[in-house]
Each structure stands twice: as structure tokens, then as C-alpha cells.
Chains A and B, each alone.
Chain A
Amino acid sequence: MHELSIAENILEIVDRHRQEQNFERLKSVTLRLGLLSGVDEDALCFAFEALTEGGPYDGAALEVEKTFPQARCSCGHCFVVEDILYACPKCGSVIAELTGGDELNIIELEVY
């Protein structure tokens, strides 16, 4: 639900850079979105499209790089968590210490 306000945040940042750098058109915005960020990629793309349609950024693409948490199991094994229903591939434990994978970052704009 909050993807709409996240998309508004993206456009505020784009606006700020447009004022500073005076570009004409926005080709794409690249985001980094973690598995634990609580943001739904499809809903965000839908909101971004709805907000940009017919405006100065019409047709701009939203590129999303997904990131995943790193898990450290009590057995010492480290692995990447691509699904929250994970289990340690070495000892089978279903509980590990997770770090990262919560990114909600704006990486770059492609403009011309």
C-alpha cells in the first residue's frame, strides 16, 4: 500500500536532480530492493508507472536489483537467504542470524 508514497519519494529525488542538472528526459531509475524491505516490486512499478504517465518522466523505466540477507547459522555455516522459508543447507536448522537484505536504495538515474 505504501508503494505509492515510495514512488512519490523516487520522483521527488528525480525532480531535485533535474533542477540541479537540467536534463530533458528520464530513461530509467535504478533501485536496490532487499527481500526484507517490506516493499512489493510489482506494486511499486505499478505506482511509478501511474505517477509518471503523461508527465515529464512518461515512459521512464524502473530497474530493480534484488538483494538478499546473509545468514549465519549457529553451526558456523554462512549462506544467502533467497526465500524466508530457508533452512541451513549444512545442518538443517531453520533459525539463523540474518544481516542485510533490507535495502531500499536509489542507485542511479539514466537521463538524456
Chain B
Amino acid sequence: MVTIKINDKLLSKNDQLALANHALFDRHGVWCLNLISAPGSGKTTLIERTVERLSDRLKIGALVGDLDTENDSRRIASHGVPVRQIITGGACHLNAKTIGEFLSHFDLEALDVMVIENVGNLVCPTSYYLGEHHRVSLISAPEGDDKPLKYPGAMHTSDALVINKIDLIPYTDFSLERARENALKIGSHLDIMPLSCKTGEGLEAWIEWFESHAREIKSRRESGTSE
């Protein structure tokens, strides 16, 4: 019997490819955001509202992962955003290799931001780093305020938590305070932004967060200090 010591991350191959994606984004001064949520929380709508408000100030591109159909990319493309749909054919998450391959379809030099809309799933995508600068988890009020506790991996690896559909809170038992507490319990570092893509309430804080991070990457590149 022989013991072979490895002591490495299980997904180190994915991580290496993700770091190559990250370097590519940095080289072009593109801020990359990985948006993850359960199906139906409002990822596509959040991207649409964001593009509507920022398209005159930031050039935004999008990569959209789905098990099937091109519906989401069509919705985003209708706002004039360069977008590619990644149909995973059943796979529950995007990986760094696929992202790298699809990035070749974009003129990154012409972009300020690349938003990756991950496959609707709050579990599997958390294990796969794609090379993003920031990761945002999205939940919505009808899903319940204990959602952050049910998906600790997502809270732990995200930089921010957006709570969508707050206009529906009066019709549910959802408590914003409990949701906040449950999220901070796992990720005390999280920026938490409650909003409604429907009414626009709370969207300004999100837009500000989004734009300030995009500008930071851009200015870092302009001053030649990209990592």
C-alpha cells in the first residue's frame, strides 16, 4: 500500500482557468460580476433594470447561463446589450472553462462590465469561481427570510446580497430584519440591498454599488495598477 499526498483544492483546475479569465478582464479594464440565485428570483429583470439606468454611462455585456432556451438572452439583448446565451444542456452551473470560451465572442476592449447570469441555482454555482471580481447572490421576498440559512455556501462566497420583490412583503411572512440577520450570520461582510425591480424602490443603492465597483476596475486599469 502506498499513500500519495495531494493536498490541493479539488477544483484547482477550474480555479486556474478562472484566474486566466480574471486576468483577461483586468487587462481590458472590464469589471466582471457573477450573479447567482434560485430560479425565478429575478436575475434577468435585475440586469434589465440595471442596463436601463446605466447604459449611457457604462458599456455592459452579458453572458447568460440556462439549462435550455434563449429567452433570457433575448430579453437582455432587447436593451442593446451584447449578450451570449450559454445553454448548459442540463448542467446546473457554469464553469470557468465555458466562460473562457464564450469570452472570445466579445470585444472586451469595448466593454466596461461583463455580467454573468449564472444558471438558476443557489447551490452548485457557489463552488465554481469564474474569474469574477464580485459575486452577488439574489433572493426574493416570496422565497422566505430563512433562505440565507438554507444556502450558506452562497452567502459565504458572495460579496453582496440583493433581496428582490420587497413590494410583495405585505403579502408574505417575510421579515427584512430576519433575512438580514440570517445573511449576516453566515457572511458578516455582505453588503445587503433590498429592492424591487417592479416598483424601483431601493434600486438606487444597487445602481450606486454596481457603478462604483465598475469604475474602480476601470480606473485601476487606466492608472496601470491592474493586478
Contact = CB atoms under 8 A, between A and B. Distances in A.
B207 interface: no
A31 B186 CA distance: 23
| Interface of B, helix, strand, loop or mixed by DSSP | mixed
B149 interface: yes
| Interface of A, helix, strand, loop or mixed by DSSP | mixed
Interface of A: 1-2, 5-6, 9-10, 12-13, 17, 21, 23, 27, 31, 35-39, 84-86, 94-98, 102, 104-112
B44 to A, nearest CB: 21
Range for the number of chain B residues in contact with chain A: 35 or more
Interface of B: 1-11, 13-14, 91-93, 121, 123-124, 126-128, 149, 151-154, 156-157, 181, 184-189
A39 B3 CA distance: 25
A31 B10 contact: yes
B149 A6 contact: no
A101 B22 CA distance: 25
A86 B127 CA distance: 23
Given A1-B124, A2-B123, A38-B123, A104 B11 contact: yes
Given A38-B153, A84-B186, A111 B8 contact: no
A52 B195 CA distance: 47
Contacts of B13: 9, 12
